[in-house]
């Protein structure tokens, strides 16, 4: 009888462990960002946001004049639907450069929702900056109270584009 | 008796593999409290399993 008690306690601990993994580790709201610059896609997974607090924001490099495409995926692993306001803006030196997106999102239970936007680096750069200089700005994604930061690094072009001579008339 | 031990062995292996898989997948998303309770349950699980096998005469 006492021997079986230990077996039951072992099983109770095992199922308790699985229950914690499911309730605390699986259930919840998880957001993932996919960024594409040029031919390269980068994925920022939900656990990266925890590391962001320790090691700083993640980033992506983009060549001068190229665009960055973002896909923001919100995974609702809850039994109820999830609603939040998503705001995306671009910042440089603690100053807002531009609002990119502001819209509510509503996701049914155990369904993924996603938003897409793009950044044209050329449009965001100051007019007086030359192509051989690097530049950085921060994309801030606000989902309700939660804030995600991504640094976009503009890679300077090694050889500045030569002005094309006007065709002869 | 021998078959029982083989089945126990398989059970333990599957349990460890299951917990290992879940841990690899979801432990990174656990809260601090969840991690602590998981640790206590893991210690308890192996402790009680040890006592059970001790009772079997291992």
Angstroms from B55 CA to nearest CA on chain A: 6
Q: What is the pLDDT of residues B1-58, one digit of tens each?
A: 688 888 888 888 888 888 788 777 777 888 889 989 999 998 999 899 899 888 888 7
- By CB atoms closer than 10 A (0-12, 13-18, 19+), residue A44 is buried
By Cβ distance, the residue of B25, B30, B45 closest to A13 is: B45
Is residue A136 within 8 A of residue A152, CB to CB? The reply is yes
The residue with tokens 């100053």 is A95
Verify whether the Cβ–Cβ distance A13 to B31 is below 8 Å: no
Question: Which band of pLDDT confidence, cut at 50, 70 and 90, is reported for residue A122?
Answer: confident
ipTM of the complex: 0.73
DSSP B3-50: HHHHHHHHHHHHHHHHHHHHHHHHGGG--HHHHHHHHHHHHHHHHHHH
Q: What is the pLDDT of residues A66-110, one digit of tens each?
A: 889 999 999 999 999 999 999 999 998 888 888 999 999 999 999
Per-domain residue ranges of chain B: 2-56
Cα separation of B11 and A169, whole Å?
A: 86
| Domains in chain A, CATH or no CATH each | 28-155 (2.60.40.1710)
Q: What is the pLDDT of residues A51-69, one digit of tens each?
A: 777 777 888 888 888 889 9
């Amino acid at each position: 009888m006492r021997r079986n008690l230990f077996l039951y306690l072992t099983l109770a601990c095992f199922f308790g462990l699985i229950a914690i993994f499911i309730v605390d580790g699986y259930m919840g709201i998880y957001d993932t960002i996919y960024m594409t610059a040029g031919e390269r896609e980068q994925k920022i997974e939900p656990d990266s946001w925890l590391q962001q607090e320790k090691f700083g924001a993640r980033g992506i490099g983009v060549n001068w004049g190229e665009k960055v495409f973002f896909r923001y995926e919100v995974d609702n692993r809850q039994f109820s639907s999830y609603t939040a306001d998503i705001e995306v803006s671009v910042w440089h030196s603690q100053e807002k450069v531009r609002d990119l997106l502001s819209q509510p999102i509503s996701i049914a239970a155990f369904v993924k929702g996603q938003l897409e936007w793009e950044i044209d680096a050329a449009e965001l750069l100051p007019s007086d900056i030359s192509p051989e200089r690097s530049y950085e700005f921060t994309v801030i994604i606000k989902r309700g109270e939660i804030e995600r930061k991504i640094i976009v690094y503009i890679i300077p072009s090694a050889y500045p584009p030569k002005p094309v001579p006007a065709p002869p008339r | 008796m021998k078959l029982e031990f083989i089945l126990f062995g398989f059970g333990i292996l599957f349990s460890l593999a299951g917990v290992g898989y879940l841990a690899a997948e979801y432990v990174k998303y656990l809260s601090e409290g969840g991690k602590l309770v998981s640790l206590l349950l893991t210690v308890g699980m192996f402790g009680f399993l040890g006592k059970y096998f001790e009772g079997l005469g291992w």
